[in-house]
Chains A and B, each alone.
Chain A
């Protein structure tokens, strides 16, 4: 039973980390997923951990993540994903959205409020 846990590590060319120290995006609804990105000194690499009830797609997950990391030149980030049967379209969309969110400036929080 248990959940399927996958771990990957990739290194893009000219890697660049995210703006925020950490960033979270998404909800683990049915057919959806959440992504946690943490800035971390990983010698330019990106480490990925995926936890999902789905089995049999580990290689595909690896390819999708590699493509995402290389195409966005991501580095020095630790990514954790909790998935619940997200479809390919949702996976791609959530990764893009999560990265955009992680690269926003730190929220302009009015500390004196």
Chain B
């Protein structure tokens, strides 16, 4: 496989590649104008995709946050996560009276190595800021906004949970772009589990559950579709928005988002225990439900 030029660190370039020419209005969503000082590591705003307004949310890996010094290289910090959450809530607000057919899409451009790890972050509660963004995305998804995550670079662990895994569908540039999707690189897993890297790599061929990389996430249902060429990002994002919208209009919300990816992981043979567990719990609940519903 030929290596392609990586998109890592190029969130702003991706915005220009994906959306209609000169349609990008940074820091504007509906009637809301963002304070451009807050959360410089996150880029949010409104753009057009084939003539339709969408909200975009990306990381700016070139920016540093002068107030929180752990934020650079695309780290999501306290301000960044709240800014991202605000952009989702203002998207919901902007379309709150519109029917499902017209709820604008949200496009997440994913290239982030992590959530802000620091003392001030923990004192103030970094878990709240990333949590708030996830809740906002889940709310928007359930309200009918099609949400597509486009992984262009790094989608690492908690930062991917925060910025990506609450989307309806997840697309990812193929691995020859240097795309990274993982919780930990295999070297760290090796150190912690005390298993040789060679052995882990061998094992990962048969079991995608711990190994790093786009292909393994694909097998587990964590990525809906792989994108082979950067020029295809635009058309594939549009295609997925249309598919998602059609499913939502038809009321098929359960085929989308994290729950939908659970089903997909089973279909692709990557996560088969999940279903066994859930089926048994259904049966065991049914056996005792009467007693608990009529206590």
Contact flag (A, B; Cβ within 8 A) = yes
Q: Which residues of A contact B (CB under 8 A)?
A: 1, 111, 113
Number of B interface residues at 8 Å Cβ cutoff, please give it.
5
Q: Please report whether the interface of chain B is mostly helix, strand, loop or mixed according to DSSP.
A: helix
CB contacts under 8 Å to A, within B238-295, are: 291, 295
Chain A residues in 8 Å Cβ range of B203: 1
C-alpha gap A1/B206 in the complex (Å): 14
- Picked from B199, B291, B295, the residue with its CB within 8 Å of the CB of A1 is B199
Distance between B164 CB and nearest chain A CB, rounded to angstroms: 32
Q: Please report whether the interface of chain A is mostly helix, strand, loop or mixed according to DSSP.
A: loop
C-alpha gap A113/B199 in the complex (Å): 53
Minimal Cβ-Cβ distance residue in A for B295: A113
C-alpha gap A111/B294 in the complex (Å): 12
Chain B residues in 8 Å Cβ range of A1: 195, 199, 203
C-alpha gap A111/B292 in the complex (Å): 11
5 A-B Cβ contacts within 8 A?
A: A1-B195, A1-B199, A1-B203, A111-B291, A113-B295
Minimal Cβ-Cβ distance residue in B for A113: B295
Chain B residues in 8 Å Cβ range of A111: 291
C-alpha gap A1/B203 in the complex (Å): 10
C-alpha gap A69/B247 in the complex (Å): 60
Distance between A81 CB and nearest chain B CB, rounded to angstroms: 22
Distance between B49 CB and nearest chain A CB, rounded to angstroms: 48
Distance between A1 CB and nearest chain B CB, rounded to angstroms: 7
Minimal Cβ-Cβ distance residue in A for B195: A1
C-alpha gap A73/B23 in the complex (Å): 82
For the complex of A and B, 5 pairs with smallest distance between CB atoms: A1-B199, A1-B195, A1-B203, A113-B295, A111-B291
